[in-house]
Amino acid sequence: MAILLVLAGVALLAWVWLALARGMFWRTDVRLPDGAAPQHWPSVAVVVPARDEAAILPGTLPTLAGQEYPGPVRVILADDNSTDGTRALVTERWPTVTIVDPGEPPTGWAGKLWALRAGVAEAGPVDYLLFTDADIAHRPDSLAALVRAAERHDLDLVSQMARLRVASAWERVVVPAFVYFFALLYPFRWSNRPGTRTAAAAGGCGLVRRAALERAGGLDGIRGAVIDDVALARLLKRAGGRTFLGLADRVDSIRPYPHLDTLWRMVSRSAYSQLRYNPVVLAGTVLGLALVFLVPPVSTVVGALTGDVPVLAAGAAGWLLMAATYAPMLRYYRQPWPAALALPFTATLYLAMTVDSAVQHYRGRGGAWKGRTYSAG
């Protein structure tokens, strides 16, 4: 019991530090900054990479084609070798959308980035590029709000974490935690601060200043990145660019993840790449997750069953503090706050997904997505 008391105490101290000194990662008030309308609205090209997205585009492409943007804007769809009729669908239903065919990506290029590169080339000398995924639906004023923020605050990348779908039971368990863990890994406030090493973005919605992207060397500099959004933010920030990442109010992902296996693949596809494919970092991550997320509830239960008040108190305090940091994200996703007490269960799932990501990597199936596999060395 002495060992458990020490572990519970360490976990409690860890949560105090995380809550107070980790960039207030748990707060959900980092939202798109407002700004006055510019005197001259800059030109924008919206680039949508799509691979076999015929089923989802009817719910998203009209929201892009119908943007209420006062300046010049065009929508470009980069058809990444789709075989489900994506091109025919877009040509028939949205003739104003330009379609480009990037072809199969060369060795060393991730398919999405190769598709984005083709879209950027087609866009020509526009002022801004909006990179947005095929499953992302935008409110009519989304683009104008992004441009106002970029112009008013001199930002080179304005990115929003789209509000993901939480309709199924497993989505309600896994999705809010996905965003919570992302913010824990990349605190938004730290990322938004110029000169800091932390840099992150959300691939579903990112407005990029074209001149800044060119100064940073273009997408060629991140050609093989599996986590392309974070890589893009790092690329721009290293070149002196100013970036912003916040939670979205006008941008939503409509892609369904009805079952655990689909959510599992979404997370495990890139989890090990977050750890830079380093087994030592993986081992440390597993131990750290176990200490921080599992020790508090275990200590609480053991302390209650054995009548060990110090173990019970330390465990319960850590568990409650953990839940308190998770509650704002549940509120953002309109989920009941008592569900925050189940975070240790969800963290165990993420731990298993991370280990599975490493296993798949060493089996040569890392980063598998729609028939392609990306495994870095």
Q: What is the pLDDT of residues 338-369, one digit of tens each?
A: 999 999 999 999 999 999 999 988 887 766 66
Q: Which amino acid is at 231?
A: A
Output the pLDDT for position 377. Answer: 40
Q: pLDDT-derived band of residue 375, with 50, 70 and 90 as boundaries?
A: low
Query: Is this model's pTM higher than 0.85 or not?
Result: yes
- Reduced to 3 states (helix: H, G, I; strand: E, B; else coil), residue 180 is helix
Residue 346 and residue 218: Cα distance in Å, rounded?
Answer: 37
Q: Is the pLDDT of residue 336 over 90?
A: yes
Q: What is the largest CA-CA distance in the chain?
A: 71
- The region, left, alpha or beta by phi > 0 then psi within -120 to 50, assigned to residue 105 is beta
CB crowding 174-204: b at 16 or more within 10 Å, else e: bbbbbbbbbbbebbbbbbbeeeeebbbbbbb
Question: Do 256 and 170 meet the contact criterion of CB atoms below 8 Å apart?
Answer: no
